């Protein structure tokens, strides 16, 4: 999705290394006996308020999915606030940019606006859980990621939107001193994204604060980001500082930049190609060279959960 014309989605084979320290979290939790609610409660109360360890939600246990190694998830990133070079994001996002403490503002057409530090927000929504989701970038690469976090619906319940609220608008931080990519003007910073209220209320919409049972690395959008697994990755906005409930559809950053190529909905759809490349298949990051491509699934495999949101909508026009 780069602004130039190079195929930035092509992963150099050098990046494909098997994960040695792969942590099977479910197994780990069973082994150490963290499966019970009482123990979880105790660890939440005494541990850092970031809520770890989290418990795997069995409805999204990803048993049928091959998880992407942690090193690849945290080493192959799109975070244009730092650089367009995927391999360099990790270094630049850990050079002085501070992600704790971190305030997030929730406001707009709501009865209960609030500004709250992320760790306090996690406590307020009752802690975190783990869900394994497919993750599909518009650049035609994919991963499978065990996210830790909580349903976005919990923020909606906390904020109590008024009936005029039709969309949620999400905004990333603006800090050009520590985020060198924001010194350039190719993008109108800060990065903005949006969802309809129906999309945001869907059970899959998730606020991630961790990956593989650890606090989310800076380069993946610390300390809190959105994850909407049935949509292309650019909808999953990182490092959120503001969430607003609004009447009008927000103009999201990529749509503002290239409206012919990127829309508001951005639902994963093998039948609607990007103007510059096919979306019919995807490159599975970490799968090795010969088994690395697989067919793209409608709504990224979450058709059952979300297809009803788009009934009657022409998905070719509303890309
Ligand atoms: N959020 C912000 N603020 N800035 C970005 O550049 N890139 C998006 C999305 N969220 C981006 C962002 C894109 S294009 C993708 S594919 C995912 O983040 C990448 O997330 P990852 O680096 O954790 O894989």
Residue count (the chain): 319
* Atom 5 in ligand 1: residue holding the nearest Cα: 79
282: Cβ below 6 Å to ligand 1? no
* Atom 12 in ligand 1: residue holding the nearest Cα: 237
pLDDT of residue 160: 98
Q: How far apart are CA 175 and CA 69, in angstroms?
A: 30
Average pLDDT, the chain: 88
Q: What is the pLDDT of residues 1-50, one digit of tens each?
A: 655 443 333 333 333 223 332 233 333 334 334 434 444 443 343 345 58
Strand partners, 149: 129, 208
Token pair 């270094």 is found at: 91
Domains detected in the chain: 13-310 (3.90.420.10)
Nearest to 269 by CA among 255, 282, 256, 251: 282
Least confident of 13-27, 143-157, 179-193, 248-262: 13-27
Distance 311 CA to ligand 1 centre (A): 28
pLDDT of residue 179: 98
150: Cβ below 6 Å to ligand 1? no
Q: What is the pLDDT of residues 61-82, one digit of tens each?
A: 999 999 999 999 999 999 999 9
pLDDT of residue 49: 59
CA 288 to chain centroid: 24
Strand partners, 196: 167
Q: What is the pLDDT of residues 87-109, one digit of tens each?
A: 999 999 999 999 999 999 999 99
Q: What is the pLDDT of residues 152-177, one digit of tens each?
A: 999 999 999 999 999 999 999 999 99
Whether the pLDDT of residue 262 is over 80: the answer is: yes
Number of neighbours of residue 130 by Cβ within 10 angstroms: 25
pLDDT average, residue stretch 295-300:
98
The answer to whether residues 233 and 136 touch, using CB atoms and an 8 Å cutoff, is: yes
The percent of residues above 90 in pLDDT, for the chain, comes to: 81
Distance 32 CA to ligand 1 centre (A): 34
The percent of residues above 70 in pLDDT, for the chain, comes to: 84
pLDDT average, residue stretch 261-280:
97
The answer to whether residues 295 and 271 touch, using CB atoms and an 8 Å cutoff, is: no
Ligand 1 pocket test, pick from 69, 78, 136 with the greatest ligand atom count within 8 Å of Cβ, gives 78
pLDDT of residue 45: 39
pLDDT of residue 99: 98
Ligand 1 pocket test, pick from 170, 207, 238, 257 with the greatest ligand atom count within 8 Å of Cβ, gives 238
Distance 238 CA to ligand 1 centre (A): 6
């Amino acid at each position: 999705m780069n602004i130039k014309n190079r195929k930035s989605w092509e992963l150099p084979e050098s990046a494909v290394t098997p994960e040695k320290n792969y942590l099977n979290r479910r197994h780990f939790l069973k082994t150490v006996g963290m499966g019970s609610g009482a123990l979880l409660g105790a660890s939440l109360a005494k541990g850092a308020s970031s809520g770890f360890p989290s418990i795997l939600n069995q409805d999204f246990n990803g048993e049928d999915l091959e998880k992407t190694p942690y090193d690849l998830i945290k080493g192959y990133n799109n975070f244009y606030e730092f650089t367009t070079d995927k391999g360099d994001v990790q270094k630049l996002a850990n050079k002085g940019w501070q992600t704790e403490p971190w305030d997030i503002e929730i406001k707009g057409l709501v009865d209960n606006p609030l500004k709250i530090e992320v760790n306090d927000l996690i406590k307020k929504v009752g802690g975190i859980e783990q869900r394994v989701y497919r993750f599909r970038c518009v650049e035609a690469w994919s991963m499978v990621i065990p996210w830790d976090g909580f349903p976005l619906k919990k923020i909606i319940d906390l904020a109590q939107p008024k009936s005029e609220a039709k969309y949620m608008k999400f905004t990333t931080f603006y800090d050009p001193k520590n985020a060198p990519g924001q010194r350039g003007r190719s993008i109108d910073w800060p990065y903005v994204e949006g969802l309809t209220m129906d999309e945001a209320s869907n059970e899959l919409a998730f606020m991630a604060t961790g990956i593989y049972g650890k606090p989310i690395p800076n380069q993946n959008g610390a300390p809190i980001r959105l994850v909407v697994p049935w949509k292309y990755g650019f909808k999953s906005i990182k490092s959120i500082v503001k969430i607003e409930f609004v009447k009008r559809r927000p103009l999201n950053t990529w749509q503002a930049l290239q409206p012919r190529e990127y829309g508001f909905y951005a639902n994963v759809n093998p039948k609607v190609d990007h103007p510059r490349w096919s979306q019919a298949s995807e490159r599975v990051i970490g799968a090795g060279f010969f088994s690395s491509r697989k067919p793209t699934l409608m709504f990224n495999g979450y058709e059952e959960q979300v297809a009803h949101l788009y009934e009657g909508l022409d998905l070719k026009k509303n890309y």
